[in-house]
Structure 1
């Protein structure tokens, strides 16, 4: 089974749930955010919709108020720079949503590969 990158946040989260890896995804997100000194602590009881909304809000605040920390977080999570550069930054809310998806995609890739290999 090859890794196929989901096309949006909802598909990614439902894929994680269907493979029983959703809790691992939350753990990975918490771990990487803490490595970047950006405290975020999603309880394992966090529902996918809540995760999506809270991650979007966190990214919005980082972009708006703590840009250096935002860049450090992207580096630690290892979000591909070329994908970030392709995003349109004219609407910060929309940008935060797109960045949250890229973060989820990268974290999902880590969890999926660790589970598979």
Structure 2
């Protein structure tokens, strides 16, 4: 059964302890690349850097390049109703919520790939 997480830090810590942290970074970079975006995130970055840089990029996309942000959500395969619900209900820390949802969805891809390899 796939682990369930309540926050980004918990997910990143779990990935790190299960030696899937590098895979998480690579998948994030791949998904950003498929959306024609660049995620400048070194593979040896620590978990705090990962969350900070990802959230910073997401905040920029929301504020400055919203259509690219929507495209990223499509590439990541975040359910549209979930994405729309956050836009309609959250007023503060919206980038934090999206960071967690993107990390969670990317984690699912990695987990399934690793489990059914």
* Common topology (TM > 0.5): yes
Structure 1 residue 64 displacement after superposition: 0.2
Q: TM-score, normalised by structure 2?
A: 0.93
Q: Within 5 A, what are the aligned runs for 1:38-49?
A: 38-49=37-48
Residue 90 (structure 1) aligns with: 91
Structure 2 gaps of 5+ residues are: none
Q: TM-score, normalised by structure 1?
A: 0.93
Residue 60 (structure 2) aligns with: 61
Structure 1 gaps of 5+ residues are: none
Measure the CA separation in 1 of the matches of 2:85 and 2:14: 25
Aligned length: 114
Give CA-to-partner distance per residue, 1:73-114, whole Å, 9 cap, x none.
1001101122212213423xx111100110000000000110
Measure the CA separation in 1 of the matches of 2:6 and 2:91: 22
Please identify runs of 4+ aligned residues in structure 1 that moved more than 6 A.
none
Residue 73 (structure 1) aligns with: 72
What is the CA RMSD across the aligned residues, in angstroms? 1.0
Secondary structure of the residue aligned to 1:3 is coil
